Amino acid sequence: MRTAARNRMLRSMAFRVVIAGGGVAGVEAALALRALAPELVSVQLVSPEPEFAYRPLAVSEPFGHGHVHMVDLRRVASDIGAELEIAGLAGVDGAQAILDDGSRLEFDALVIATGTRLLAAVPGALTFAGIADVDPYRRLLEEIDAGDVRSVAFAVPHGVVWPLPLYELALMTARHPAKHRAALTVVTPEEAPLDVLGPAAARAVSDLLGEHDIALRTSVFPIALKDGRLTLAPEGAVEADRVVALPEQRGIEFEGVPTVAGGFIPVDEHGRVEGLRNVFAAGDITSYSVKQGGIAAQQADAVAQVIAAEAGAAILPEPFRPVLRSVLLTGNGPRYLSARIRNGNDLSSVATSQPFWSPADKIAAPFLAPYLARRIEGALR
């Protein structure tokens, strides 16, 4: 990459960066490059969809407490001086990105930030994956209100999944006004609720579940709902008229790009894809085990720093060092959760009702969060 950068500087040409993906990681990377190396790089954003969906608030929609906001990627591209191509990534061939429409884009650096595939993981359950599942969940609330549904299990499936939205759904359902109440149970493979965020978060969520009379089953895997029973592994079952489950995440395979188990892309601490020259990946598509918006943004920032430095910016790239920051929506004020992780070990854990990062949005992203706060005034709280 240094040779390419020197050649480009000699020819007074911008360092060509192609970013495949219009989600959190892709847009964060584009915004970061605009801030770090505005005169040194040209950015081409490639996305199969023309809009960026701010999805974390999807869990609030069934309860009337906010909604998913859509941001036109053409506006984003215009704001940062990037080009936008409406297409998907199909593969990589040397220094060319192959798109699903058959066209090719030459690059000096490619960032793969496509996100993952979401798959239903618990047969018989209502899978809550985002916008498309808001109306079915509203109907479930109506069934509870009418007394037709008397028990609901909230299931974190086996596999790769970010569990926090399930706890939000359970807590907000418990607080939702209704003529009739349903017995609620959370079923999870975790040893403690949200233990990925450390002991402080686990204690806070356990206390919240107890306060709202939500039963908890840990260290079990939900198998399937049949005849009013959710079977569990290694053994047992939970009585449930309905089951709400999160989807499992799977990677996407691209021609010429290595993958590990589950279809995810292996990267180093700077986001470089193993075995490929000048190719990076960030966000859920990578092999890093935690799939969360703030983590995706941190990975994107690490990648942007390397690319900016290689393009000639006077910065020293920092490696990806994950800090998990999450906002848990409870229906009675948010809880702010944070954990600093090194080599899979939690080094610090915080849970509080007071925000301790700014802007305190659902996705803690250094460039994306303030950008969206300007574009969607007051809508991200």
**Phi-psi label, residue 293: left if phi above 0, alpha if psi -120 to 50, beta otherwise:** alpha
The answer, yes or no, to whether residue 12 has pLDDT greater than 80, is no
The answer, yes or no, to whether residue 140 has pLDDT greater than 50, is yes
Paired tokens of 237: 């079952």
What is the C-alpha separation between 42 and 133, in angstroms, rounded? 38
Question: Regarding predicted confidence, which is higher, 66 or 293?
Answer: 293
**In-domain check, residue 271:** yes
Q: Whole-number mean pLDDT of the chain?
A: 92
Helix orientation angle between 24-36 and 73-80, rounded to the nearest 10 degrees: 10
| Average of per-residue pLDDT across 134-162 | 96
Partners of 245 in the beta sheet? 127, 155
**In-domain check, residue 170:** yes
The answer, yes or no, to whether residue 325 has pLDDT greater than 60, is yes
What is the C-alpha separation between 338 and 328, in angstroms, rounded? 11
| Global confidence as pTM | 0.92
**In-domain check, residue 340:** no
255 shares a domain with 242: no
pLDDT band at 346 (very low <50, low <70, confident <90, very high): low
Domain that holds residue 147: 121-247
282 shares a domain with 204: no
Nearest of 78, 81, 96, 79 to residue 40 by alpha carbon: 81
CA torsion, ordered 215, 231, 222, 203, to nearest 10 deg: 20
CATH at residue 142: 3.50.50.60
CB 189 within 8 A of CB 158: yes
- In the chain, the largest separation of any two C-alpha atoms, in whole Å, equals 73
CB 278 within 8 A of CB 1: yes
Paired tokens of 300: 């994107």
3-state secondary structure of 329: coil
Query: Among residues 318, 343, 358, which one ends one of the domains?
Result: 318
| Residue 362 DSSP label | S
What is the C-alpha separation between 58 and 178, in angstroms, rounded? 21
225 shares a domain with 140: yes
**In-domain check, residue 313:** yes
**In-domain check, residue 337:** no
125 shares a domain with 111: no
243 shares a domain with 125: yes
pLDDT band at 152 (very low <50, low <70, confident <90, very high): very high
**In-domain check, residue 348:** no
pLDDT band at 344 (very low <50, low <70, confident <90, very high): low
Total count of domains within the chain = 2
The answer, yes or no, to whether residue 7 has pLDDT greater than 50, is no
| Residue 351 amino acid letter | A
**In-domain check, residue 328:** no
Give Cα 322 to chain centroid, integer Å.
14
297 shares a domain with 186: no
**Nearby residues of 86 by Cβ (< 8 Å), 6 or more positions away:** 47, 48, 49, 50
Dihedrals phi, psi of 62, to nearest 5 degrees = -60, -20
Paired tokens of 130: 């985002």
132 shares a domain with 235: yes
3-state secondary structure of 92: strand
The answer, yes or no, to whether residue 342 has pLDDT greater than 90, is no
35 shares a domain with 130: no
112 shares a domain with 255: yes
**In-domain check, residue 25:** yes
| Average of per-residue pLDDT across 321-338 | 91
pLDDT of residue 116: 97
97 shares a domain with 8: yes
| Residue 267 DSSP label | B
| Average of per-residue pLDDT across 137-147 | 97
Query: Among residues 318, 345, 376, which one ends one of the domains?
Result: 318
Paired tokens of 206: 């356990």
33 shares a domain with 111: yes
pLDDT above 70 as % of the chain: 93
Query: Among residues 190, 216, 247, which one ends one of the domains?
Result: 247
107 shares a domain with 20: yes
